Amino acid sequence: MNEHGLLDLRNKLDSIDEELLKLINERMEVVHQVGVLKAKSGGAIYRPEREKEIIDRLETMNSGKLNRAAIEALFLEIFAISRNLELPENVAYLGPEGSFTHQAAEGRFGAMSSYVSIASINGIFREVDTKKAKFGVVPIENSSNGIVTDTINCLNKYNLKIIAEVVLDIHHTFASTCDKVQDIKRIYSKDIAFEQCRKFLANFGLDEVEQIPIESTTKAAKLAAKEPFSAAICPHVGAKLNNLPILFENIEDKDNNKTRFFIISDFENAQSGNDKTSILVEFPDRQGALVEFLTDFNNSGINLTKIKSHIVHGNSIFFIDFDGHKDDENVKGILEKHKDTIKVLGSYVKEINDI
């Protein structure tokens, strides 16, 4: 391509960028008008079901090079900018910076949001409950390690709502300032991460090295960056944030390792047409209670996608996901019938059937 042709294409790109800027500013003006109306009516600014509706519509009319993932990434950032221009709100997440929970939060709320790193899941619920943060992001389950006990306990304790789920592919790196694996004398990471990387550790003879469990994989990277002859099993982002050289990528035993996160807040979602509802159930102490409950759901045509038993304060409760919204006609009757045993945790746009 000659220089003249390249200059023409660059001029065309400049023109498109200018038009994009103009259109995005026009969108922000309309968002502002919507925000004014919502403020008068008390409506929530963050509406996951509306965002999904927009992305679904754009995907159906798309005829260019962008795939759904690209459309989603682009517009979720636009949505986040729109919300923050209207009403900047804190997002509390299980820290520190660079943790998988932080990545899940940024993936939904964008780079412009105000993030608050909290050291415990209970602390996140407390921040949202006391309205110091508008949103909280917490892990609920991992495909390898199951349900997160602290999150279930807090969902039972606090009267907050699940407003969205986020599913993140979990990849661990092995990072160290040591050039040779044989020089490593200790490894820092979260206990769950050690469990998820057993085969890697055994293959490299690192299963005999001292393993030091700490509360965060990102903190592990921070410690390993400071201590000679140490290493960390940590996220790629955590290693980069701490300038810790990465020796191996994707060291987890299972290549489909995923973690599901909940976004919690103080409002409820409207129906989207593709919803999931989460509940906690404590059955009465009588024979056949569980069977009767499950039969009622089956007779109403409601698909249960997850049933997990859990112990809270010595009592057995069940964490249950099912397809549908709490305001769907076939769901309302079930919830009313079992209202004394059910705590509705929230209805939200379904991102995935199960992990």
Give the model confidence (pLDDT) of 281-334 as tens digits: 998 777 878 888 899 999 999 999 999 998 877 778 999 999 999 999 999 999
The span from the CA of 282 to the CA of 285, in Å, is 9
- Residue 44: pLDDT band with limits 50, 70, 90: low
Confidence (pLDDT) at 49: 81
The span from the CA of 50 to the CA of 275, in Å, is 12
Confidence (pLDDT) at 42: 58
- For residue 221, the number of C-alpha atoms closer than 13 Å in the C-beta half-sphere is 26
Q: If you average pLDDT over residues 141-148, what whole number do you get?
A: 90
Confidence (pLDDT) at 242: 94
**Three-state SS sequence of 198-248:** HHHHHHCCHHHCEEEECCCHHHHHHHHHHCCCEEEEECHHHHHHCCCCEEE
Residue range 199-212, pLDDT digits in tens = 999 999 999 999 99
This prediction has a pTM of: 0.85
Tokens 């994707």 locate to 250
Residue range 223-272, pLDDT digits in tens = 999 999 999 999 999 999 999 999 999 999 998 899 999 999 999 998 88
What is the dihedral sign for C-alpha 192, 196, 202, 206? Answer: negative
Confidence (pLDDT) at 41: 58
Residue range 232-242, pLDDT digits in tens = 999 999 999 99
Q: Are 135 and 118 in contact (CB under 8 A)?
A: no
Q: Are 181 and 229 in contact (CB under 8 A)?
A: no
